[in-house]
Structures are given as C-alpha cells and as structure tokens.
Structure 1
Amino acid sequence: MNTSPAFYPIGTPSTPWSDTERAEWLSRQTRHRSYDSEVLSKVELLRSRFGIEEYGRLEYGDESFPLLAIRSLDWNEDLPVILVTGGVHGYETSGVHGALRFLDQHAEEYAGRANILVVPCVSPWAYERIHRWNPNAIDPNRSFYDDSPAEESAALIRLVAPVVDRVVMHIDLHETTDTDETEFRPALAARDGKPFTPGGIPDGFYLVDDSESPQPEFQQAVIAGVETVTHIAPADDNGEIIGSPVVARGVIEYPLKKLGLCASVTNARYKTTTEVYPDSPRATPEQCNAAQAAAVCAAIDYSLAHQ
C-alpha cells in the first residue's frame, strides 16, 4: 500500500545533520512503554527453564538498560548453535514478543538437538521510544561491523564472538510498518541530507536473504511455515518489495555484510531477516507474534535437517 510522506521538521534540505540537529531530534523523543515491565518481566518468568545472562548494559544519560540473552539450560558444546534476535529496531514490536513467544512455547522442543541462544530485545532504549534509531540517531541495523558506533550492535557482536563459527542458523525478527514511510525514511533522508523518495509498504510477511550467499530452499521453507499463520506479501507492479526484486515468493535479497545488518553477525550458513506487517487489516498483534515464532521454528527445522 502507499502512504503519504510527512515533511520532516528537523534540518535543512540537502544538508546532513550536525550535532545540533541530532540534539534537537533527541529532545523530541518520548518514552511510550516500559522495557522493564514488558520485556524484562517476561524474561524473568523463563528463569527456571533457561539460562539467562546480562551480556551488556546500555547507559544513556540517567537511564540504564540491561541487555539479556537467554540460552538453552542444557547447553552442549558438541551441538550446533541457533541464534534468534529481535528488537534490533526497537519499534518493531513483534520481533521482541515473537522471540519471547518462541522461547515460552517452542524452544524446549529442541533440547538435545541444538543450543538455542535468543536475544529478544537488542535495542531497549528504542523499544521504549518506539523508534528505529538509538539516542545518537544511529541505526543499529546498519552498524554490525568492527568498531561499531552503536553500542547495541557492538554488545551483540561481543556476545556471539565465542560461537560465531558454530552458529548454523541466525534469524533476525523485524517488521515493516506504515511509519517506515511516514517517519523513519523521511528522518533518514533528512539526517543524511538526501532527498526523500516516497515508496510503498508491502501488505504481508516477507524475508530478506543474503545476496552474497543465498539459500533459496531455506527461505521457502520459512515462507511455508509462516503462511499457515499470516499472509505473504506479494510483489508490486514492478516485481519488487520495498524497491528490491522479488527473487522467489515472499523473498528479496540484500548484501547483509556490506550493509552492516544484524543477520551478518555470524558465519551461519542459514540466515534470514523476517519482515511482518503489523498495520495490515488482515493481521492482529497476536498473529504477528505467532508468525515470528512460526518463522523461527521453520528456520530451525530446516537448518537442523540440512546441516
């Protein structure tokens, strides 16, 4: 569907933001929800069933956010590692709660077959502000590289470093929302001093594969697992989804490492980024969370069967 672009109120057209504009942007951000009550409290309920560790802590002004990872209780160094991440973009709600749903309802089914490592909310400050960026107006999902300027990304890189070569599958849970077009893409253009070109938001679920090492059968297995829960996004009239050619039903490709995307953080053979559309009239929040969990299960099932 198409949405109308909003004029972005910060900055001068064609001029990248300075520290002044970034400070003005930060001053406009307000807290809308609680990481503690909506995420940490749910993780705490899992403590008897999983290993929980604080792998870092974000300190932004007078706010402090513990970064939590949840592991299989029966972690076995001889088993393959499965990595699930959510909330890299904090505003993408079903990424966080889909990861938590997977842990609560499905993760223990893989006991003895794989080590499960889940980071449900990579960007808690952005979760509370319902935003894409961190307080420094940096997108963590373009920052997964050495000497990352985003502490959210750097902390996750440190967490997975010991298992970077043992991860067989990494699924990163995201959403594409109407606010991508009305707020976040205009903000990005303003921040970088570039023109904003209106686009469209696909109605439905889709995946982003790695163009440098595509795994089309794996992607289609995930699509098949999800379409029992929610609808798959069709290609637009140009055969594209958000400006990228559709290479298979519900699948586009990005160069994950080149773009510094979270899904490139390990050397996993199988990796994908999910994109749920929560603003669809055909999907509920519960359905979006269930679709994320179904994607995780389908991805694990395929990767363990095709090691």
Structure 2
Amino acid sequence: MGARELGLPERVPSVDGLPRRVTIWEVGPRDGLQNESAVVPVEVKAEFLDRLAGAGLTTLEATSFVHPKWVPQLADAEELLARLEQRPGVRYPVLVPNERGLDRALAAGVRHIAVFASATETFAKRNLNSTVDDQFAMFEPVVTRARAEGLDVRGYLSMCFGDPWEGAVPAEQVVRVGTRLLDLGCSQLSLGDTIGVATPGQVDRLVGAFSEAGVAVDALAVHFHDTYGQALANTFAALRHGVSTVDSSAGGLGGCPYAESATGNLATEDLVWLLDGLGIEHGADLDALVETSVWMAGKLGRPSPSRVVKALAG
C-alpha cells in the first residue's frame, strides 16, 4: 500500500522558523551509483534519471566528468548526457573536478556544475592529491571560466563534521574553507558529512558559525550520510536554521570511494516523509519515488536501505 492510500504522514507543522519549501538536490545518479562495483548500463542510468524527473524532482545530479581511471562507474558521462531526454524545468548538474572536466562539460552542453573541495588536509591529499590551500589553485580557473560561460557553480565541501584520519573537524576550519569557495564564485555551498558522524548539535554549531561569518543561510545546503542513523535528525537541525536545500539519494544509495567508512546518503524517500510531516513543500511524488527505488534496487540486485521504501514497498 502506497503513501497516498495510507494518507500518511499527517501534516503537523509544529516548529516555527522552518522553510516553507525545500529544494531536494537528488544525488543518486552520481553520488549514489559512483561506488557500485559492477558497472550500471548507461541505459539504466538514463531511465533512472527520467524516472526521478517523472517523480517531480527538479534537480538531478546526473554524473561527473572525472577521469575514468578514478571512478570507472562514471566513464560514460558524455554518452549518458547525449542519451538523456532532459525535461523542461529540471536541472541536471554534473561534478567537474578540473579544467579538463569543465572542457568536457561545456562540450556536452551542461549548464550547471559542481566542484568538490575538502575541509581537511588528509582528505585533500587522498582525494585531490593537494593541500587544503592549494586545492583552490585547481578550482579558481574552473569556477572563473564556468561563470564567464554563464554556468551556475555549486561548491561541495567534504569532511565538514568529522574526518576518519583527523577526527572531529573544528567549525572555524570549515567556515574558513567554505567561505573561500563562495568568494571564488560558487552560488551555493553544500556542507558534507562525508562519513556520517555528525549530530544535531554539531549542525547547529556549524550553520550558526557560517551565519556569524556573514554567510546567508540560502547560500548553504546540507549533505548527510546515515552511517550512525543521524541523517534525518541532522537535516531537521539544519531546517530549523532555515536551510532550504537538502541533498539526498533515491533509495539511500551511495558512499564515497575515497572514504571507506562512508555509507549511504540520506534516502530521498525518508527526507520526503519528514518534509510531508512538517508541512514543507517539495514537489516530489513519494509513491513514484518508492517505485523508482524498488526498480533500481532490482537492477542492482539488493534491497533499498531506505526505511520508507521498505515500509511502503513491503
């Protein structure tokens, strides 16, 4: 029985200060699939994107123009975008690691890109073969050229709450790196809990620290992993601060190929259930999302880890 037939959850907007509408930034097709050991056929990826758009999601992170050596799953980026029938009103951003990636994105007609930075030295070394400061030398020409071409640029910042090699990450360190990405020309900064160790108190502190640094809350997004079951609680903490863009992955797919302790992303269906219960608009059809995640789980040969998918599809 689907959510529509159950008539649940009841809408009880009981907390003041929450945003009236939240943009769901769907990362399943990129972040969700990038760590799959078996290559997912390009036609399946294209259908996945089309199904997600049909379910009412308007921001679908499609792929990444990373070198195939590093993420073989995304080696078909050009073919996927050429095959994809893009729907009006839907954005299909892609991750761009460097200028070569930007060249490929521009050739493919992409209008929305994202760059991926690290808040910690160890992860910068392991993921980007750089230091925290030196990574900006790589991003600056990408962002500058992209903005000159009229592209929108998002900045991802990883390890904002904890790093598997360095431990807890000081809020002031995250703010220092994050504001540099915004000053560089990124229109939005996504704060990543890459290994899923954050708690709501940390979220309160970090979002508050950005506000104290003069960063508008509408320039921030949050990206939580559910390693310790805190993703929804952390999301609610961010919503209470007025954050209105939340990254999630259909069916809870995902991880990080450079951080083995990272498990799946916050499931889009679980997020939608929370937003519905709070009376926050989002535009997604929960039943269609569940159907899509069940379909993708069948393609991957394992059940979805999303609790809402399990409850409604079971």
**TM-score normalized by the length of structure 2:** 0.31
Identify, as 1 or 2, the structure richer in strand.
Answer: 1
* TM-score of the pair, normalised by structure 1: 0.31
Q: Which has the higher helix share?
A: 2
